[in-house]
Amino acid sequence: MKQLLFVFIGGGIGSALRYLISKYLNTSFPYGTMLVNIAGCLLIGFFLSLAAKYNHFSQNQLLLLTTGFCGGFTTFSTFAFEKSIFLKNGDVLNFIIYTTLSIGIGIAAVFIGMWLGRTI
């Protein structure tokens, strides 16, 4: 039950932060969603790399930071919905740009986060 509480707290903080960022950055293009998803990829790579290198994080801390915060902060469902809107509106170019940048930079961000975690 304690672990569920850590996930709940981290998820709440991550979700609230995602909402605020998306509220102010999502205009004609979903910049906010793309930013939080890429930042979440960077953070999860960083947190897990630090945990592997230093073994300082408890299981509860990792649950709060990764499953909770990163899980609540990032959003695959909104990403998929926004892509469907592009397709529904016939905006194939922005669909391709958004999909390619989000996935490509997201994967790169995980590796960058892992590298940062190892170099600290």
Instruction: List pLDDT tens digits, range 61-93.
Output: 999 999 999 999 999 999 999 999 999 999 999
For 64, the enclosing helix (H) or strand (E) is: none
Q: Answer positive or negative: Cα dihedral of 35, 85, 19, 107.
A: negative
Question: Can you tell me the mean pLDDT for 95-106?
Answer: 98
Question: Residues 22-34: what's their mean pLDDT?
Answer: 96
Tell me: is residue 74 an annotated ligand-binding position: yes
Please give the tally of structural domains in the chain.
1
pLDDT of residue 79: 97
**Structural domain of 60:** 2-119
**H-type helices in the chain, by residue range?**
2-25, 31-54, 59-62, 71-73, 76-88, 92-119
Q: Whole-structure pTM over 0.85, yes or no?
A: yes
Distance CA 47, CA 98 (A): 26
Cβ-contact 63, 2 below 8 angstroms? no
Q: Which pLDDT belongs to residue 56?
A: 83
